[in-house]
Amino acid sequence: MKAFKSGHYQEQGYYKSFQPNGINRHWAISDMDVLKLLTLADRQIGRLDMYSEYVNIVLFIQMHIAKEATQSSRIEGTQTAYRLIEELEKLGILVEVTGSQRKRLYAFEEYLNIFSK
């Protein structure tokens, strides 16, 4: 395992690409600590398998996929909002009024002028 090389870089014209080596090979584990950890992990997987008789695994996995999708959507929505604010700021429509890097506030000057009349 110490001599394992995951792959190599290959010239592809103007760039290099990583070409992975095959992983279907016999592994000899010489470190007993690693072997002990693998045995522990195998036992834990066995315990999880025991609960699969009582829990609908498909439903369990779908629940986690839905949670991940929601989190991903939030991140993408936040990034979209930041891009939109950045564009509106470049166009002079929005003006940043706090002067700080965090918890920024933006103002739409023309809108504020309507209320100040």
Cβ-Cβ contacts under 8 Å for 1 (sequence gap 6 or more)? 27, 28, 29, 30, 31
pLDDT at position 87 over 90:
no
Predicted confidence band of residue 33 (pLDDT cuts 50, 70, 90): very high
pLDDT mean over 32-54: 86
Residue 38 is predicted with a pLDDT of: 92
Please answer whether residues 94 and 107 qualify as being in contact, where contact means their C-beta atoms are separated by less than 8 angstroms: yes
3-state helix, strand, coil in the chain (%, to 5): 55, 10, 35
